[in-house]
Amino acid sequence: MKAITLHEPWASLIACGLKKYETRSWTTRHRGLIAIHAAAQNGQYYADGWQTLELLRARFGKQLADASFPTVAPFGCIVAVATLKAVFHTEAIAPTLDALELAVGNFEPGRAAWQLVDVHRLNIPIPARGAQGLWEWTPPVEFEAANEVMK
């Protein structure tokens, strides 16, 4: 299965169903299942991410609470599985999005917006080593039973 590593809080925002588009500077031809991996590292993007989260909590606190956004971030694990349905140019899709989606992505012109549907948050995050770009993840045998995602 293809996987993508994201820094927190973006991985958890996808897992909770609050972020439906992952914005990238690059596109992909991949369509289908994709695992969402929360990065183990908390470098520069970590500080920016949690500053973003504090702004989100002030503006969208009820939506985060209603979606059971985690109070403790998972690191170094697969947190969700989704279907990558389509990839759009950001300038084409941005005018159709709500304020929360625009707040959690980079919709500057010239970027790609990956549409994620059928997102399944894992009941038990699965430790995994991430990588840059799209990478291959082999779910453990217990994956189906523990997370009831692939049924």
Q: Where are the domains of the chain?
A: 2-144
Domain at 2-144, CATH from 3.30.428.10, 2.30.130.30, 2.115.10.20, 3.40.630.10 = 2.30.130.30
- pLDDT band for position 151 (cuts 50, 70, 90): very low
* 68-94 pLDDT per residue, tens: 877 777 889 999 999 999 999 999 999
Helix (H) or strand (E) holding 2: strand 2-6
Q: Are β-strands 134-136 and 77-89 bridged in parallel, bridged antiparallel, or unpaired? A: unpaired
CA distance 138 to 145: 15
- 65 contacts 35 by C-beta, under 8 angstroms: no
Residues counted in the chain: 151
The token duo for 147 is: 């997370």
Distinct helix (H) and strand (E) counts, the chain = 5, 6
- pLDDT band for position 110 (cuts 50, 70, 90): very high
Report which of residues 118 and 63 the model is more confident about.
118
64 alpha-carbon distance from chain centroid: 14
- pLDDT band for position 49 (cuts 50, 70, 90): low
Query: Which residues have a Cβ under 8 Å from the Cβ of 13 and sit 6 or more positions away?
Result: 19, 69, 104
Across 14-32, average pLDDT: 96
pLDDT of residue 143: 66
